[in-house]
Structure 1
């Protein structure tokens, strides 16, 4: 609570001493500052109370930057980042805060501390997961000093990455090569359609699975597509917030949409702004649950994207042509598909396409393109 005290001076003028006292999280802190004008004193009180209400601010005010901990730096990063921080990154940083390393003063953290922390993580997690933890923490190290004055050493983090990689504590995740068989897809889609016959209001998982396969889209991307994002005449779709290592939010990309995917999209009811107005996590959960019920082992929804890209290359499409559908910007990320050879379309004549999306005539196409 802030107060302002009038202090008469010998020359007859009045000084205004602003005082604030804060008690929070077991800490007590007081500050005072003198001003020549009451409005300036009131403005300072308001400003400092707002500043001290932020995570980690009391520690900084009491002990200075050098004694602020890594946990304080993480708090500032989470509280003051204007860019949207993903759910996974937020969870990881909060998990790091729960470890003893978060209690070490920023100025005292060494590469050895970071390597030791990675070792603790590695006792229960895969090298790729440990690397993700350090990568998210690296983002805090990158801006802590220039943004807030926390003396975190970026070189210590770089050295820790080098050491943990050499020791095998961190590493890249293995590229999945799991592809669904036609039999597995048939069983899945029969399961989903049987569920809809019992409960017609259920989400059309069969259509979503088929659309994912033909469009090579991720589940979150699918559930964000608006009817206005569909360019029927141009046979393309605007993919909103496409996943990107640098910036996901606002990364809207036009991708080619082949006939099969377009048919499935146009077969959906137009009763909401989105073509598939559902929660992407529910889509993924439904897939996982169905695979468990049907005893389909190690098949994830994301594997449909891999299947879609593989299909295009097996049909004779070039990597750039496949990338125009999948949205891959870096062709090097498609090296995993380099071994594929043209073998034809295993989905030619697939009965589920006609079941889920009756073929659209050219006049209908033209009419839809004008809407």
Structure 2
């Protein structure tokens, strides 16, 4: 049964039906309240009614808070997800109920971010978290009737594939400038990035316990291997040059311990006994990247070169050594041949010898 009552300047409609909790809503006119009540009663009678009141009360900001509590801790990079959530909560859309958000709202957000100069991949990831939130709300939070408005808009295509490799002479110039910096770990990190093809996140968490120099192998524990196409192989073979760089790093650790016996910030390294423990680098990823950016962006620098381009350089060099694609993938950790192809940029001039 429906009950219509006036509350000040508004009209309140309430529908009560056996087996259902009371449903109510406020309207500007009595006619609107009566029509809504009749529709709800009809939907309950024929068994198609789904309560939307929760979606109408829950704002995007409230849903983001719940998403941060329940879903984000299960993500591989929860810190990045929390940063995106914090950015969304500053947006005006965070104050609006989930039920009233439309695709046009997010299309306007997409266009505004583009106008602000944000990268396509950045915008894609920001929209992706909201799309996943709507799917979780619909499937697991009881909002069955809630439509995902992001399915109705054109998504950014993501980052463009890069093909930047080191030009002739750039390797030597970069190594020289990095070695001349105040951070003695920058140049070895640069060389190891190319010799191992490791991403910066994995490179800077390397530990001596994982490295078997006599066997020329790095054995990654399960928790350090990553997942999906961003993983690393369980055992990574090392080039002879990589071994030489690692041996030089042990000498660097020994020098620092002699000049600073209290050095313990990055863990113990017992070089005297030949037992190496702790991190490989006595610095942070951020410290090396700051040096890198100063060198790359300086006068007579290296235009359009990024640290991640070193991984492209590494993959391309492995092919140039004559390795089979499966052998290259076993080093780079790529689990998709399509992605491995994206990281490989061979010099057409080097193919002339093979072509004859």
- Is the TM value for this pair above 0.5? yes
Aligned-partner Cα distance in 2 for 1:192–1:319: 32
Deviation at 1:72, TM superposition (A): 0.8
Q: The residue matched to 1:195 in structure 2 has which SS? A: coil
Unaligned runs of 5+ in 1: 1-62, 197-201, 345-371
After superposition, the C-alpha distances for 1:332-356 in whole angstroms (9 at most, x for unaligned) are 1122256637987xxxxxxxxxxxx
Q: What is the RMSD of the two structures over their aligned residues, measured on CA atoms?
A: 2.8
Pick closer, same or farther for the CA change 1:147–1:208 going to 2, 3 Å. same
Q: The residue matched to 2:180 in structure 1 has which SS? A: helix
Alignment partner of 1:175 is 2:161: yes
Pick closer, same or farther for the CA change 1:247–1:86 going to 2, 3 Å. farther
Deviation at 1:242, TM superposition (A): 4.6
Aligned-partner Cα distance in 2 for 1:246–1:150: 33
Deviation at 1:259, TM superposition (A): 2.4
Normalised by the length of structure 2, the TM-score is: 0.67
Tell me the residue number matched to 2:181.
195
Query: Which residue of the other structure, out of 317, 331, 335, is the alignment partner of 1:325?
Result: 331
Residue correspondences, number: 268
Aligned-partner Cα distance in 2 for 1:295–1:256: 32
Query: Which residue of the other structure, out of 239, 243, 246, is the alignment partner of 1:258?
Result: 239
Tell me the residue number matched to 1:309.
315
Query: Which residue of the other structure, out of 176, 199, 210, is the alignment partner of 1:229?
Result: 210
After superposition, the C-alpha distances for 1:314-341 in whole angstroms (9 at most, x for unaligned) are 1111211111111111111122256637
Deviates more, 1:293-302 or 1:216-225: 293-302
Verify the 8 A CA contact 2:233 2:333 in the aligned structure 1: no
Verify the 8 A CA contact 1:232 1:262 in the aligned structure 2: yes
Q: The residue matched to 2:132 in structure 1 has which SS? A: helix
Alignment partner of 1:136 is 2:129: yes
Tell me the residue number matched to 2:86.
94
**Structure 1 segment 23-42 matched on structure 2, within 5 A:** none
Alignment partner of 1:74 is 2:64: yes
Deviation at 1:233, TM superposition (A): 5.0
**Structure 1 segment 45-60 matched on structure 2, within 5 A:** none
After superposition, the C-alpha distances for 1:265-322 in whole angstroms (9 at most, x for unaligned) are 2332262501124221222222111112242211111111110110011111121111
Query: Which residue of the other structure, out of 274, 277, 280, is the alignment partner of 1:275?
Result: 280
Verify the 8 A CA contact 2:204 2:281 in the aligned structure 1: yes
Alignment partner of 1:122 is 2:114: yes
Pick closer, same or farther for the CA change 1:103–1:241 going to 2, 3 Å. farther
Tell me the residue number matched to 1:186.
172
Aligned-partner Cα distance in 2 for 1:152–1:73: 16
Unaligned runs of 5+ in 2: 1-52, 254-268, 270-276, 351-356
Aligned-partner Cα distance in 2 for 1:158–1:246: 25
